[in-house]
Amino acid sequence: MTSKQLALSIVAGGIVANVLDFIFHGLLMGNLYAEQTALFRTDGSLLWLNLGDFVSVAVFVWVYQRVRSCFRGGAAGGAIFGLYAGVLIGFPTHIFLNLVIVDFGYVLAWAWTVHEIVWSVTVGAVVGRIAGTPTAATAA
């Protein structure tokens, strides 16, 4: 992956990640979160959450860059990597939150898990499309 592809992957992936998080957390889950004020902070900074998505995508791209020779090239390969990454990260993390945080419901844990997988597959497809097909020279 060239430096240009790396930077474009992080920027494009970060934008897509923020849009997905806005749709899920803002539009779909916003009312539920508003009802559970004891569970969520209300003084947080939206800027830090937005920047956090770019950092998350940068880590995602870094790992994808290291293993992408194991996957088909393009958007399909990136999406498959995203599926694996989303299940690996989302399933144990969010289900365990239900076990350790009071009032973090099981349904919410599953909703976040599904969102993590959709997020990773979608970002993976974007990153894979930008990265293209790995060659023997770029696989190392």
User: In whole numbers, what is the pLDDT of the chain averaged over residues?
Assistant: 91
Reported pTM: 0.89
Query: First and final CA of the chain: distance in angstroms?
Result: 10
pLDDT, tens digit (0-9, with 9 covering 90-100), for 82-125? 999 999 999 999 999 988 988 888 899 999 999 999 999 999 99
Cβ-based burial of 47 (10 A; exposed 0-12, middle 13-18, buried ≥19): exposed
Per cent of the chain over pLDDT 70 is: 95
Q: How many domains does the chain have?
A: 1
**Confidence at residue 140, expressed as pLDDT on a 0 to 100 scale:** 46
pLDDT at 1 over 80: yes
Owning domain of residue 107: 3-139
The pLDDT assigned to 49 comes to 93
Pair of tokens at residue 133? 């097909």
* Angle, vertex CA 104, rays to CA 89 and CA 43, nearest 5: 90
Spatial separation of the C-alpha atoms in residues 31 and 45, rounded to whole Å: 19
